[in-house]
Amino acid sequence: MARILLGIVLCCLSVGLSADLSTNIASGMDSDSNSDSDTGPQCSRPIWQDEFSGRAVDTRKWQFDLGDGCHRGLCGWGNDEQQWYQPDNARVENGALHITGRRERSNGRWYTSAKLTTKGRFSARYGRFEARMKLPSGRGFWPAFWMMPQGNITWPLAGEIDILEHSGHTPETILGAIHFGREWPDNAHYSESLLAPVPWTEDFHVYAVEWLPEEIRWFVNDKEYGSVTAAEILPYPWVFDERPFYLNLNLALGGTLGGKIRNADLPGELVVDYVRVYRLNCDEDTATATKSHGSHNRNA
């Protein structure tokens, strides 16, 4: 979600669905069918998962990102976001992770929320990355489920993969994107969006990407709604196959996508039932997972 609306928009696609298809996708029913991927049988056992079945956030799997980004030279996290991230805004309850955005004063900010990352805990290259989530309803919320590359590399030279982003000002639309290209402000991004007849905030949905060599596909409730290949972003190089990426979950307030905050809509919650990572093809070792240690690049 780093500086999502800045830089060069190489290509973007907004998909409007027929009534039957969009109702099926956005109905809140989790499909039991396999995706239409031609990569072979998806493995049934995740290589990494968090079912949030404990009493607190599992710090063996996640760590908290704190503050407002100013300590990294990115006040507002590079997007004019208004929240201060703190662990108190994340809790595990009734088998789900709850990230709460509140209107409260903290460290010079008027709003608080939480951000979790597997940086330093888990990363993977290729596979299916999915989360079953219920998005918050209200103007100013900006929930995101996204991935960043390992290593101390200036954004976005090694890429960024946004699995799901959503603005409370457009509740019927979800977004997916990749970021790449040269250093800001000469960066580029490719995005896909999906417009449904009902708000995505009304129920749980499974948001996912399938990441293959030279291709990334976006899914919701096991239905593919967008894809991008290396050939489609030429003349920019496809940097996404070079290293593993780690996961991020956060609820921002305001900013370039969240927009103007309506205080009457707070507090609000991003509720996460589970996060799972799978190999795409059990016939081939197309996914590699690593437990990473030591310091990595900034998480913008």
Residue corresponding to tokens 């998909």? 15
Q: Report the pLDDT value the prediction gives residue 34, as an integer from 0 to 100.
A: 35
3-state secondary structure of 216: strand
Catalytic residue among 51, 93, 130, 165: 165
Annotated catalytic residue, options 51, 93, 104, 160: 160
Q: Which residue has the tokens 């790449």?
A: 180
One-letter amino acid for residue 76 of the chain: G
Average pLDDT for the chain: 87
Residue 8: per-residue pLDDT: 54
What single string gives the DSSP state of each residue in 98-157? EEEEEEEEETTEEEEE-EEE-TTT-EEESEEEEEEEEPPPSTTEEEEEEEEESSS--TTT
pLDDT tens-digit profile of 215-251? 999 999 999 999 999 999 999 999 999 999 999 999 9
Q: Is 34 helix (H, G, I), strand (E, B) or coil?
A: coil
The Cα–Cα gap between 167 and 26 comes to 16
Q: Which comes out higher in pLDDT, residue 17 or 188?
A: 188
Global pTM reads: 0.86
Report pLDDT for 43. 86
84-140 pLDDT, tens digit per residue, is: 999 999 999 999 999 999 999 999 999 999 999 999 999 999 999 999 999 999 999
Which domains are delineated in the chain? 8-28+118-290 (2.60.120.200)
Beta bridge partners of 67: 85
pLDDT of residue 20 exceeding 80, the answer is: no
pLDDT 10s digits, 200-217? 999 999 999 999 999 999
Confidence class for position 19, pLDDT limits 50, 70, 90 = very low
pLDDT of 293 higher than 60 = no
The tokens for 83 are 């929240």
Q: For this structure, is 160 an active site residue?
A: yes
Predicted pLDDT of residue 41: 62
Whether 202 sits among the annotated catalytic residues: the reply is no
pLDDT at 145 over 60: yes
Strands 187-195 and 8-16: parallel
